[in-house]
Amino acid sequence: MTALVIDGHPNPDSLTAALAQRYAEAYGDATVLAVRDLEFDPNLRLGYQGEQHPEPDIARAHALIEAADHVVIAAPVWWGSIPAILKGFIDRTFLPGWAFRYRQGGLVTGLLAGRSARVIVTTDSPLWYLQLVGDTTVRHVRGRVLRFSGFSPVTATRFGPVRGSSPAQRDAWLDKVATIAASDAAGARKKLARQR
């Protein structure tokens, strides 16, 4: 079972990037796609009213997502949302006709069904505060992007508060994400065995 880990942090030296890399290593058969390294226009210039030709990196992202059995999106929580570059990537990648299809009556069919997903977020806010304000980043990426596109199940893992965390705490988070990745990979193998 292959995994695609989408690293949505603009900074390659961030904790988010380190968590994405550690997850991929522990999962095994995984590819890391760092959005910051892609060349594409993050602006969906015509909205859904016209076609915007996908750049080679967007076409490659489509191929990687289609080939993956499990997709991870790792991102920091910035202003209750995700970084602009990741939002642009989602806008340009998860398009109608590819990620989902509208049906009669305004209903939607997710076209990426059959895949599981995980959202990993880093935050400077205490985890209790995210629950208090509605955990908007996780709700957006998990519900309005991944589940909307057919992914199931979609789980979430939060790390924080990052600001003021010690090197020992960060090492513990890296160990934790490795354990989660190994568990996700084992679950994927069991699911594949049941399908045979």
Per-residue pLDDT band for 191 (boundaries 50, 70, 90) equals confident
Q: What is the pLDDT of residues 35-80, one digit of tens each?
A: 999 999 999 998 888 889 999 999 999 999 999 999 999 999 999 9
Per-residue pLDDT band for 1 (boundaries 50, 70, 90) equals confident
Does the model's pTM come out above 0.75? Answer: yes
pLDDT value at position 158? 96
Q: What are the Cα distances from residue 73, in Å, to 102, 121, 133?
A: 24, 8, 21
Question: Which two three-digit tokens encode residue 48?
Answer: 């859904």
pLDDT value at position 196? 65
Give the CA-trace dihedral at 74, 115, 41, 52, to 10 degrees: -160
* Helix/strand/coil for 13: coil
Cα angle for residues 151, 82, 185 (degrees, 5° grid): 40
| Domain spans, the chain | 3-195
Domain at 3-195, CATH class: alpha beta
pLDDT value at position 126? 85
Which residue has tokens 């069919």? 109
Q: What is the pLDDT of residues 75-123, one digit of tens each?
A: 999 999 999 999 999 999 999 999 999 988 888 999 999 999 999 999 9
Q: What are the Cα distances from residue 103, in Å, to 96, 106, 140?
A: 11, 6, 22
Mean pLDDT of 166-185: 98
